[in-house]
Structure 1
Amino acid sequence: MMGRAEHPELWEFLEARHHGEVLSGTVAAIEPFGVFVALDDGPEHPVFPGVGFVAYPELAWRRFEAATEVVRVGGRVSGEFLVFDTTNLEARLSLRALQPDPFQAFADDTAVGQQLPGRVIRSTPIGVFVEVADGVEGLVREPIGESRAGAAITVVVIGIDRERRRLTLA
């Protein structure tokens, strides 16, 4: 257990952070479950390679296969402080929160009923995911003629859910 009594400097630092604050540092390690960041202004962590931690979904808005497509060990990053993880004594960060959301820009310029060119990303039991803009994917639930990854197809926008960042296509 990493309690307040054992690590008072770390607790004090993390409790002083507030949601939305921007913290910067150096990527200390990339693990299968997320990325550790050694914060510029923070104390050392007693166990982990950094006090900052970024879960994979918070690295970028766009889909990626490996974290190394977004960050590299030794690279500089800045992230928005999300929450003080009191179990692990970490500052949970979001790198994508500091980047414009491509979905919202796409939704501003797209209407239901609009026809769009797309590229098949992958087929799943629930349908086919199609990329219609850089960093923007939608789901085609009905079977389509060509569903192999990389295939170029034309789709129609059926629904745009800004809050859930979901695009329904046909």
Structure 2
Amino acid sequence: MDWQSESPELWAFLGSLHRGETLSGTVAAIERFGVFVALDEGPEHPVFPGVGFITIPELSWRRFEAASDVVQVGQRVSCEFLQFDTWNAEARLSLCATQSDPFQAFAECIAVGQELRGRVTKRVPFGVFVQVADGIEGLVHRRELTSTSVEAPEDVVQVGDDVTVVVTEVDRERRRLFLSRRQVSPDLR
């Protein structure tokens, strides 16, 4: 569809927005691929439930199962404008950009070598994820689970287990935390 000729008012509105600008609106629809937002200002979209769209990664800094865990239809939101999606004629938005990143605050307070307590939240073939603070999870690679070789993570820990881990790496740019259970003092495991 040629949005520019079919909907010149919408095209002009989207073209007037600036990256970083805060836009407010109401959650109009939740889909498995993202959230449509009916913006307070500007025209309605001729096809979609809203002119604004938030992709799943831009909804929250925290891990969640479904978009409805973060927002509800009818909820008021304020988002940061990221870009004008000319293909769909919509404003790409970020909800998490309007909130402080808990990972960065956490990274300020910890150091490599520090021991932390946490709960195993997920098993994957290459290790386990451990939640060490509210919304903060780190990976314990299979080779870091124990001092002996492990075929499968479930041979050592189960989801829900409380464990002590050591911080081995903090990647602030990629928001990743790497942990070791093997490096913990034997009496704390």
Taking the aligned partners of 1:6 and 1:39, their CA distance within structure 2 comes to 20
Alignment of 1:55-94 (within 5 A): 55-94=55-94
Report the TM-score, using the length of structure 1 for normalisation: 0.96
The counterpart of 1:160, out of the listed 142, 166, 170, is: 170
Match of 1:116 in 2: 116
What secondary structure is seen at the aligned counterpart in 1 of 2:6? coil
Asked if 2 retains the 8 angstrom alpha-carbon contact of 1:2 and 1:89, the reply is no
On the 8 A contact 2:132/2:138 being kept in 1, the answer is yes
Q: Is the 8 A contact 2:127 2:139 kept in 1?
A: yes
Q: Write the distance in 2 (CA, Å) between the matches of 1:161 and 1:143.
A: 17
SS at match of 2:11: helix
What is the match of residue 32 of structure 1? 32
Residue pair 1:120, 1:152 contacting (<8 A) in 2 also: yes
Is contact 1:115-1:154 (8 Å) kept?
yes
Q: Give unpaired runs (5+ residues) of structure 1.
A: none
Aligned partners of 2:130 and 2:18: how far apart in 1?
37
Identity %: 66
1:121 CA displacement: 1.2
Listed as ranges, the gaps of 5+ residues in structure 2 are 147-155, 181-189
Specify the code of the residue in structure 1 equivalent to 2:130: V
Structure 1 CA distance for aligned equivalents of residues 2 and 112 of structure 2 = 51
CA RMSD, Structure 1 to Structure 2 (Å): 1.1
Runs of 4+ in 1 over 6 A off after TM superposition: none
- Structure with more of its chain in helix, by fraction: 2
The number of equivalent residue pairs is: 170
Looking at structure 1, the residues matched to 51 and 159 of structure 2 have their Cα atoms a distance apart, in angstroms, of 39
Question: Is the partner of 2:28 in helix, strand or coil?
Answer: strand
Return the alpha-carbon distance in structure 1 between the equivalents of residues 49 and 103 of structure 2.
33
CA offsets, 1:140-167, max 9 Å, x none?
A: 1125364322211111000001111111
Partner of 1:138: 138
Decide which structure has the larger Cα Rg and report it.
2
